[in-house]
Structure 1
Amino acid sequence: MKNWISFPKVEGTASRQAHVRLPAGTYEREMGREGFFGPATQMHHAHPPTGWTSFDGPLRPRAFDLNHVDQMPGCPLEAPALMGNGATQVRLWRFKGRMDHLVRNADGDDLLFFHQGGGHLFCDYGHLEVREGDYVVLPRNTCWRLETDEAVMVLMVEATNDAYKLPHKGLVGTHAIFDPAVLDVPALDDAFQEQKHERETLVRVKKRGQLCAMTYPFNPLDAVGWHGDLAPVRLNWRDIRPLMSHRYHLPPSAHSTWIAGRFIICTFVPRPIESDPEALKLPYYHSNEDFDEVLFYHRGQFFSRDNIHPGMVTYHPSGFPHGPHPKAYEVAQKFERKETDEVAVMIDTRDPLDVYPAMEGVEWGGYADSWKAK
């Protein structure tokens, strides 16, 4: 537990509570530590903190359209890496058909988010039907393959040398956000029994970023039973029931879905917008000084962004203030929208991310200019 230097003070003209009753004509910016879990200060500015006229260099906000990443490898271990660091690797896998081999990731747990399409996932533990909007957590070294009749687009997030856990839900209790009872696990059902065979089977394994292969004279997915509390789990975003407050805009940390040692994954799902006339009604300007922020947009209209559509991803390195676009801010101030319909996956990383070459051809070069007042 860090013993932060704590001395709550008020200087000048300021609101008494964060995100509520902002002084007239001001723009609030939160400067925070530890990804919204540490100490923070709300600054009140006379101008929007994103009101730059130019922005260049490695800290600039970036946006990419993953719909134009057209690689379709037959093996998820060869899916193009988009960005990463020592704690995580983010990949995009497009696939259609029936995998002709099995795979295992020995580098860490894998999280699959099915942005488009679905199918049948077979693994050591059994058979799991998957569909659009599903998260599937695969514990490290789980052997698996996918069959699908339609094209799938899967965001893959590896917890390198780590494991995924559920967030601590504190005062709201273990059943809040989603009840763990909705987590599904694979079944040793008829579909699993039918896929068993005695033919030669290839298993590809990733270890320390390198691929190796093992060949068996039979299908290793041959379990006759299992018991325990370690298994893949499936969660669909539709089973997430977000925390809400009509009088206070909750921080992204309130929407945490999965936790690893050096990053967290949050899910933004449709919800009513704050109705109290004194409450801020969209994400506040903030400087998250310790975490890089990645947002993958799954569906809906993104109420804090303009010109963003499903399948895009934005990247905001730590070290600069960011927040809603001017048009979105204006709409929110007028309370013209009463609820959101967006679904998005957020990855907040404690360590800086590297953007890999696969992203070069799909970048929206003018994204940093999108905060300029029109």
Structure 2
Amino acid sequence: MTTTPQRAERVENASVTNRTYLPGFGNQHVTEAVAGALPEGRNSPQQAPLGLYAEQLSGTAFTAPRAENRRTWVYRIRPSAAHTPFRRISRRSLLASPVVNDCPEPNRLRWDPLPFPEGEVDFVAGLFTYGGTGDVRAQEGVAIHLYAATSSMTDSYFVDADGELLIVPQEGGLELRTELGVLDVAPQEIAVVPRGIRFQVRLRDARARGYVLENHGRMFTLPELGPIGSNGLANHRDFLTPVAAFEERDEPARVVQKYLGGLWAADYDHSPLDVVGWHGNYAPYKYDLRNFMVIGTVSFDHPDPSIYTVLTSPSGHAGTANADFVIFPPRWLVGEDTFRPPWYHRNVMSEFMGLVHGVYDAKAEGFVPGGASLHNCFTSHGADATTYERASTVELSPQKVDNTLAFMFETRLPVVVSEQAMAAAHRQHDYDAVWQGIGKRFTAPGGFASPAGVSLKNVPDHWD
């Protein structure tokens, strides 16, 4: 826990470089951009310091257990209530759960990278929903989006009242200016913006593309380690929260709010990112996926992919997540007499995969950075024919899987694919072909096969 308020620069129109962050997952942080912005000994004095307004941002119910309670006190130049009524605006290709599809299908699906749009398109306008599960109104399930942006947000800001956003950049860095400070996020890093926190996305490069998991369920937390013990996977200290930084701009601004799937806009006469100091544990954060401590076999076989879980959104069923964020980073493979790529399987969980860079070790071709695949519940999948042939015959020695980063959004509920994703020009309609050419290898020494192909070896003469 940070006890001394951390200082930061004021954020004007120019970007702040050499960021300072507050380490620790779920910590109670204390930070101010101007000395004396935080009151002493109380949260809501009769008059807040420096002429600021005190405001509480609650991420959980007031009476949530202390260990689960998430709230932050902010001290801002104007209350966030100072805006015009919201008005409905077009949501373009951004949808919400429940996603409507009159005929959802169980087929395996794969897409090429989301194409970049022509002209100037910012982060919000560039969101494209692939599918979702659950219901935002019941605060259950997820929605899965990709974004492709070619311009920064300048006088507009975004807030998601439906869920927290897990952002996975694939190409191009992002500057996330939030009410509570600024996060710089590049490919191989992730950012999480909690539900209800306003932010703006500025591009670090000419264009940016990536993936977004919108979590409607319980907030992301670190998975339990069980017999792994007290260390491993993603460590608390590597999660970084921004120090306080604010915009003092008395200019027209627009806040776009996602509410029950729709987009609504309200006008401000100032920047909504005017928080000069804050304290609490409800805040955005980032994490460098290269800090993930990979654990695997040192004998034979390999563990379930859950061993690669970075963050989890628990459900009401122990061990069965509303959503998991799982990564497949560089790692050593040393299993003896082991088929080292992921084995063939059918899973009660639905698996949406993306690739940040490199090659995924279960697919030799067709799955490229920026692409995506979906294997819904109990949909058979695994290594393609080329990968199986290589992995089942190669001479086994210690092998470094390097220069790659794949990930998986996993959920216990079936994902309903949007009609726009099914009809998208970048969908691969021949995906099933990757499993063609997997030949029959069965041999049964001394056995006898019936004309129907069923082995009758050791079958009794009479059926009971």
Q: TM-score range by the shorter chain?
A: 0.7 to 0.9
Q: 1:161 to 1:255 in 2, by over 3 A?
A: closer
Partner Cα distance (2:343, 2:408) in 1: 16
- Equivalent pairs, count: 312
Q: Deviations over 1:277-312 (max 9, x none)?
A: x23312111111x21111111111221112122111
Residue in 2 that maps onto 1:34 = none
2:303 aligned to which of 250, 264, 288 = 250
Paired position in structure 2 for 1:169:
225
Match of residue 332, structure 1, among 368, 376, 391: 391
User: Quick one: distance in 2 between partners of 1:106 and 1:161?
Assistant: 12
**Which residue identity lines up with residue 344 of structure 1 in the other structure?**
A
In structure 2, the partner of 1:236 is: 288
Paired residues of 1:85 and 1:351 also in contact (CA < 8 A): yes
- Judge conservation of contact 1:73–1:79 (CA < 8 Å) in 2: no
Output one character per residue of 1:144-170: Cα deviation in whole Å (capped at 9) or x when no partner: 001124111121110125422211112
Indicate if the aligned counterparts of 1:306 and 1:327 stay in contact, CA closer than 8 A. yes
1:343 matched to which residue of 2?
Answer: 405
C-alpha distance after superposition, 1:106-145 (max 9, x if no partner): 0011111111111321101111111112210111001000
Give the Cα–Cα distance (whole angstroms) in 1 for the partners of residues 420 and 361 of structure 2: 28
Cα 1:343–1:241 shift into 2, 3 Å: same
Change (3 A) 1:97 1:70: closer
Match of 1:153 in 2: 209
Please tell me whether the aligned partners of residues 82 and 358 of structure 1 are also in contact (alpha carbons under 8 angstroms).
yes
Higher relative contact order (CA 8 A, sep 6+): 1
**Cα root mean square deviation, aligned:** 2.0
1:323-346 deviation per Cα after TM superposition (whole angstroms, max 9, x unaligned): 111221222221468122331110
SS in 2 for 1:224: strand
Rg larger in 1 or in 2? 2
Matches within 5 A, 1:112-127: 112-127=167-182
Match of 1:206 among 258, 262, 281: 258
* Pairing 1:82-101 to 2, within 5 Å after superposition: 82-86=130-134, 87-99=141-153, 100-101=155-156
Distance change >3 Å, CA 282–CA 75, structure 1 → 2: closer
Question: Are residues 1:61 and 2:83 paired?
Answer: no
Any gaps of 5 or more consecutive residues in structure 1?
A: 1-56
The 1:149–1:69 alpha-carbon spacing in structure 2 relative to 1, beyond 3 Å, is closer
2:415 aligned partner: 353
User: Hey, what's the Cα distance between the residues in 2 that align with 1:141 and 1:226?
Assistant: 16
Residues 1-374 of structure 1: matches in 2 within 5 Å? 58-68=105-115, 70=117, 73-76=121-124, 79-86=127-134, 87-99=141-153, 100-150=155-205, 151-188=207-244, 192-193=245-246, 195-247=247-299, 248-260=301-313, 261=315, 262-276=322-336, 278-288=337-347, 290-307=348-365, 308-333=367-392, 334-335=394-395, 338-341=399-402, 342-359=404-421, 360=423, 361-373=425-437
**Partner AA of 2:278 in structure 1:** W
Using structure 1 for the length normalisation, give the TM-score.
Answer: 0.78
Structure 2 runs not aligned, ≥5 long: 1-103, 135-140, 316-321, 439-464
In the alignment, what sits opposite 2:74?
A: none
Secondary structure of the residue aligned to 1:330 is helix
Distance in 1 (CA, whole Å) between partners of 2:125 and 2:196 is 12
1:254–1:215: structure 2 CA closer, same or farther, 3 Å change rule?
same
- Letter of the structure 1 residue corresponding to residue 303 of structure 2: L
